[in-house]
């Protein structure tokens, strides 16, 4: 097994639009790597390159051969007019799995995901969360070395999300390298490392703690949206305004200026990274 899958210095453009601009990513075995970013940040493009569905203009992709790679595209890749069992059967045959092993593993995964009773239902009739769980199971059924999941939890209810996380964590525990795109930063915090994309560019990477620690300046609370230049550095979260001060001291350091500095979390650090990248500093 190769020690680390991933990509180096990927560059992808669609016509004049640069979708990925020198993006690198490591996916160590047994770890979950999160790719976060807003709409159009380049998450799906990066994952498609990693999975081999898209060839980059330049850069290096390290991935196992197709038999040892699992991929969940943004569209879920599930046939809506096949049943749950038929979808998994198609995947198992496609990956050349022995029939008995495929049956046993499918039964186990369906059981753990709470989908056993839905095995005979058409995938198109499943709820969004059930369909995503099926898609994740299908991507992992053949025990790949690298699993690439494009927003597996988007639009999924909290209960189904925990079910999905059980599947993901178990695959990682078995030594699988997992790369998943997500828009939920609480999920990204649970991952071993995080890559933050904005406009096709890496604006932060590392563990969630590293990214938070590397956040420049400080955050302060405000009762109302500030005026002037500071308005560009303010956002509302949990009922109050937060203002980023690029030159300010971090929480617990320096002098007080208009309120106690807020101890930032990953969500704050990613927001600040995007502001800094956008020139709000």
Partner 1 sequence: MWAMIVKEFRQVRRDRRTLAMMIVLPVLLLVVLGYAASFDVKTITVAASGPQAGSVASILRAPFDVTRTAPDRGPSWARDQLRDGKADVAVVTGGARPHVLIDGSQLFSAKAALAALAEMQQRAPSGPGGTGLHPTVTVLYNPGLKTSNIMIPGLCGVVLVFVGTIITSLGVVRERQTGTLEQLAVMPLKPRDVFLGKIVPYFLVAAVDLAIVLAVGITIFGVPFHGSPATFGLGALLFLFVTLGIGVLISSVSQNQGQAIQLAVMTLLPQVLLSGLIFPLSSIAAGVRWIAYFLPLTYFNQISRGVMLRAEPITALWQPFVFLALLGVIVVTGATLRFRSYLAPAARERRPRKAAVQAQGAGA
Select the residue interacting with partner 1 from 37, 56, 129, 163 (CB under 8 A): 56
State yes or no: residue 5 binds partner 1 (CB under 8 A). no
The verdict on 129 binding partner 1 (CB under 8 A) reads: no
What is the rounded CA–CA span in Å between residue 111 and residue 101?
A: 15
**Contact predicate 61/39, CB 8 Å:** no
Chain centre distance of CA 3: 21
Angle at 10 between CA 8 and CA 16, to 5 degrees: 170
Q: How many residues bind partner 1 (CB under 8 A)?
A: 35
Contacts of residue 43, defined as CB under 8 A and 6 or more positions apart, other chains included, come to 35, 36, 37, 150, 151, 181, 197
**Does 149 help bind partner 1 (rule: CB under 8 A)?**
no
Distance CA 62, CA 218 (A): 38
71 binds partner 1 (CB under 8 A): yes
Question: Site for partner 1 (CB under 8 A): which residue of 28, 52, 216, 226?
Answer: 52
Nearer to partner 1, 37 or 56 (CB): 56
Q: Measure the CA–CA gap between 52 and 62, rounded to whole angstroms.
A: 10
Among 8, 57, 104, 186, binds partner 1 (CB under 8 A): 57
Site for partner 1 in 194-253 (CB under 8 A): 201-203
25 bridge partner residues: 7
- At 156 the three-state DSSP class reads coil
13 near partner 1 (CB under 8 A) = yes
Rule CB under 8 A: choose which of 28, 29, 31, 53 binds partner 1. 53
Q: Which of these segments, 58-66, 112-120, 217-225, 248-256, binds partner 1 (CB under 8 A)?
A: 58-66
Is position 192 an interface residue for partner 1 (rule: CB under 8 A)? no
Q: How far apart are CA 139 and CA 141, in angstroms?
A: 6
The secondary structure element, H or E, covering residue 43 is helix 43-51
278 binds partner 1 (CB under 8 A): no
User: Can you tell me whether residue 257 is helix, strand or coil?
Assistant: coil
Task: Count CA atoms closer than 13 A to 57's CA, side-chain side.
Answer: 13
Nearer Cβ to partner 1, position 11 or 235?
A: 11
Q: Please report whether residue 80 would count as binding partner 1 according to CB under 8 A.
A: yes
Q: Which of 22, 28, 40, 114 lies at the binding interface for partner 1 (CB under 8 A)?
A: 22
Q: Is 54 in the site for partner 1 (CB under 8 A)?
A: yes
Find the binder of partner 1 among 5, 95, 109, 244 (CB under 8 A): 95
The residues pairing with 221 across neighbouring beta strands, listed in sequence order, are 242
Q: Does 96 bind partner 1 (CB under 8 A)?
A: yes
The C-alpha atoms of residue 241 and residue 220 are separated, in whole angstroms, by 8
Nearer to partner 1, 48 or 220 (CB): 48
Find the binder of partner 1 among 37, 73, 163, 264 (CB under 8 A). Answer: 73
Q: Which residues of 67-76 are buried (b: 16+ CB within 10 A; e: fewer)?
A: ebbbbbbeeb
Residues interacting with partner 1, by CB under 8 A? 11, 13, 18, 21-22, 48, 51-58, 65-67, 69, 71, 73-80, 91, 94-96, 201-203, 277
């Amino acid at each position: 097994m190769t020690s680390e899958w991933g990509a180096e210095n990927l560059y992808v453009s669609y016509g004049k639009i640069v979708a990925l601009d020198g993006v690198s990513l490591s996916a160590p075995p047994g770890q979950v790597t999160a790719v976060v970013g807003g709409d159009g940040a380049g998450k799906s493009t990066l994952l498609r390159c990693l999975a081999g569905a898209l060839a980059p203009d330049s850069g290096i992709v390290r991935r196992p051969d197709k038999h040892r790679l699992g991929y969940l595209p943004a569209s879920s890749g599930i046939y809506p007019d096949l049943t749950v069992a038929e979808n998994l059967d198609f995947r198992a045959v496609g990956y050349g799995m022995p029939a008995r092993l495929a049956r046993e593993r499918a039964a186990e995964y369906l059981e753990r995901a709470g989908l056993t009773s839905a095995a005979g239902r058409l995938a198109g009739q499943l709820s969004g969360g059930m369909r995503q769980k099926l898609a994740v199971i299908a991507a992992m059924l053949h025990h790949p070395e690298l699993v690439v999941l494009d927003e597996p939890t988007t639009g999924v209810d909290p209960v189904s999300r925990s079910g999905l996380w059980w599947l993901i964590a178990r695959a990682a525990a078995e030594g699988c390298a997992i790369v998943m795109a997500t828009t939920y930063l609480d999920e990204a915090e649970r991952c071993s490392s995080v890559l933050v994309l904005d406009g096709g560019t890496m604006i932060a990477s590392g563990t969630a703690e590293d990214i938070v620690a590397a956040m420049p300046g400080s955050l302060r609370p405000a009762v109302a949206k500030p005026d002037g230049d500071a308005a560009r550095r303010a956002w509302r979260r949990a009922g109050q305004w937060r203002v980023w001060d690029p030159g300010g001291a971090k929480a617990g350091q320096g002098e007080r200026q208009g309120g106690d500095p807020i101890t930032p979390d990953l969500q704050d650090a990613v927001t600040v990274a995007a502001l800094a990248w956008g020139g709000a500093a």
